[in-house]
Amino acid sequence: MSNGRAVSLRGNTEHPTTRGQLCPKVNRYLERVHHPDRILQPLARSGPKGSGSFEPIGWNEAMARIADRMAVLRDAGRTEAILPYSFDGTQGVIQKGVLSDRFFALLGTSDVHRHLCGVTAWLGAADVSGAPFGIDPLELSHARTIVLWGTNTYHTNRHLWPVIEEARAKGACIVVVDPVHTPTARRADEYLQLKPGSDVALVLGLIGVLRRDGLLDQEWIANHTRGWDELVASVDSVTLEGISDETGIAVERIEWLARQFATQRPAAVRSLVGPEHRGNGRDIMRAIALLPAVTGAWRDVGGGLARSTQIYFETALNSPTPPTSDGQRRRFNMADLGAVLTDKDLDPPIELLFVHNSNPAVICPDQNRVIDGLRREDLFTVVSEQFMTDTARYADLVLPATTQLEHLDLGIAWGHLFLSLNQPAIEPLGEARPNTEVFRRLARSLGLDDPLFTRTDEELIRGLLDSDHPWMRGITYERLEQRTWLRLGVPEGFRPNVDALPATEHGRLELGALAHRPSRAGQVGQLMLLSRKQHLRFLNANYGGFTDHFPDPPQPRIELHPDDAAARGIDGGDLVQVSNERGTLTIEAVISSDLQPGLASMAFGWWNRHTPQARSVNALSNPTTPADGRGSAAFHDTWVFVQRLTELPTSGVRTD
């Protein structure tokens, strides 16, 4: 730090996972912190919603306006008309939601299921093992077969890639299963390009080969699983030739992968959230988790399923107990925000929206309806933000939020087992304030006297660390303050489902019937659209509005297979119209053989200013969520028409 300015940012060379390397999306984080467009004082709307016209106000006035609005709704018995909306824009445990969750629960507001990303994968794996523990990703270095299933590890999990290469140097075979020939697939030893959404069928084929060739671990199945007969009936209901037709993968390739996974051990499958964004996403994640369940791959250190490690931290930390009334609150799937905000029959309707750590105008599907809801003059919207995002432009009040360099926090991880203490490097710039301070002030204004609101951020962290779980033994605030990161006390070589029983009712892995449900077919002439995290320097919307993070060329584009482009008379660089019943985008085409025919691809995360319609890919995305409200929207079950344009259209162009 020099004169209150952060001047250097680098990874810790001693950290076993990062090894001194920063994720590409944060290589320019200092520029973000000190960016001239940073919001550094509270702002009140002074023009039409969406115009971006604001004027400065003081913190006291901003807090009073919010508290007064909330008090009116509380006194009228309509606190359900308040909807908090937050996600992972700030990922530390404290600033992400310890106090905000308690505040809105005590107030009795509506809430959202934060299932936009990750929960479907969690549920699918939990259907097999009860609690979806996976192996420590660092232990993939012991594996001899690593199947990277629907995950672009080289781009989206850069810190794991050296572990993959270590395993390969020891003789491991790296296999990629993915509908798209990604940079990871190009670096693999073997690549299987399956048809989108056919993952369950492929698993049925693999298990059929394993059973036919006597490659299953029958002792393991008998003593550690339930539901084998039902799974066998599912496998027997299909043919290998039929599976080949369904997946687009040759029979001999399916046979090869089955033999490889069963005989070249330790064998592990690595999958994250890519396959979950479909109508059958939970089935896909469950099917992937069945592979190590029937082969006994869990027996071996470095074998089994490698997935998010977040559950380890959630299990070990002493998280605050939710209020007893919390389970009775009205909840919506966060992917349904557009429908919720525009539902004229909702009783009570949402009258106050409080957004922090999120940019729903970009990340939500059915984007046009989301923005129609944000435009409502009778909706009072508060956004806590660092920059004037597409969501903040529709706010009535914008509160300046701190960055990671300016606040104290406790960091957990989804890719390793190291707990970290985020200590502020500089004082908050301008009038920026951490989320915790905002909710302490609101709690005082509204008379919420829960003792949690009297604790400092350090005290909140100490409370989380004050756990009697054996994985937290020896982890103290003082040690974290000195070291900054410490590994959870999970034993080296810990084998989930072996060294600890599965968290199912009977302590066995649940198998059961498995059925492939094909994705809904599109209309004649439509292409299936994937919205992928594919740009190295911004993998999500947090960084999608900053020039320094843009790819070359610095604009969103749609990728088309050469056959599909030729059939539509489209050349690379042509302007095309991409449309369906939810919206229309005008965008440049790029021709790519990485896709298979029938697929199109656009990058997720671009802010809305980059198209004539002032919209991004989620203007087209399928908003359908599971019937029970649990899990992600079916983003990748999106069908679009693509046609070449000869001139920029004048209709449909937006200025908001």
- Which residues lie closer than 8 Å to 260 by C-beta, 6 or more apart? 145, 173, 175, 190, 267
Average per-residue pLDDT for the chain: 94
User: Which sign, positive or negative, has the C-alpha torsion 553, 555, 556, 560?
Assistant: negative
Angle in degrees, CA 6, 12, 14, rounded to 5: 160
Mean pLDDT (whole number) for 373-389: 97
- Tell me the per-residue pLDDT of 258-285, one tens digit each, with 9 for 90 and over: 999 999 999 999 999 989 999 999 999 9
Helix (H) or strand (E) holding 420: strand 418-422
CATH 3.40.50.150 holds for 527-644:
no
Under CATH, which architecture does the 120-307 domain have?
3-Layer(aba) Sandwich (3.40)
| Residue 218, token pair as written in the block | 């029958």
- Tell me the per-residue pLDDT of 116-159, one tens digit each, with 9 for 90 and over: 999 999 999 999 999 999 999 999 999 999 999 999 999 888 89
| Residue 256, token pair as written in the block | 């090869």
Q: CA-to-CA distance for 126 and 626, rounded, in angstroms?
A: 16
Q: CA-to-CA distance for 116 and 366, rounded, in angstroms?
A: 13
| Residue 299, token pair as written in the block | 């027996």
| Residue 529, token pair as written in the block | 């659209």
Q: CA-to-CA distance for 271 and 253, rounded, in angstroms?
A: 20
Q: DSSP 3-state assignment of 54?
A: strand
**What local confidence, expressed as pLDDT, does residue 200 receive?**
98
| Residue 189, token pair as written in the block | 């030893």
- Tell me the per-residue pLDDT of 416-463, one tens digit each, with 9 for 90 and over: 999 999 999 999 999 999 999 999 999 999 999 999 999 999 999 999
% of the chain with per-residue pLDDT over 70: 97
Task: Identify residue 215 by its one-letter amino acid code.
Answer: L
User: Any idea which residue has 């509506």 for tokens?
Assistant: 110
- CB atoms under 10 Å from CB of 413, counted, come to 20
Phi, psi of 411 (to 5 degrees): -100, 125
| Residue 347, token pair as written in the block | 């009783």
Mean pLDDT (whole number) for 371-377: 98
Contact 143, 160 (CB under 8 A): no
CATH, domain range 39-116+331-457: 3.40.50.740
Task: Identify residue 548 by its one-letter amino acid code.
Answer: D
Q: DSSP 3-state assignment of 257?
A: helix
Q: CA-to-CA distance for 306 and 415, rounded, in angstroms?
A: 9
Per DSSP bridges, beta strands 54-56 and 43-45 are: antiparallel
**What local confidence, expressed as pLDDT, does residue 491 receive?**
97
- Tell me the per-residue pLDDT of 622-646, one tens digit each, with 9 for 90 and over: 999 998 889 999 999 999 999 999 8
* DSSP letter (8 states) at residue 551: -
Give residue limits of the domains in the chain.
39-116+331-457, 120-307, 527-644
Angle in degrees, CA 436, 442, 445, rounded to 5: 145
Phi, psi of 543 (to 5 degrees): -120, 5
CA dist 618 to 191, 359, 607, 608, Å?
Answer: 29, 12, 10, 10
Q: Is the peptide bond before 553 cis (omega within 30 degrees of 0)?
A: yes
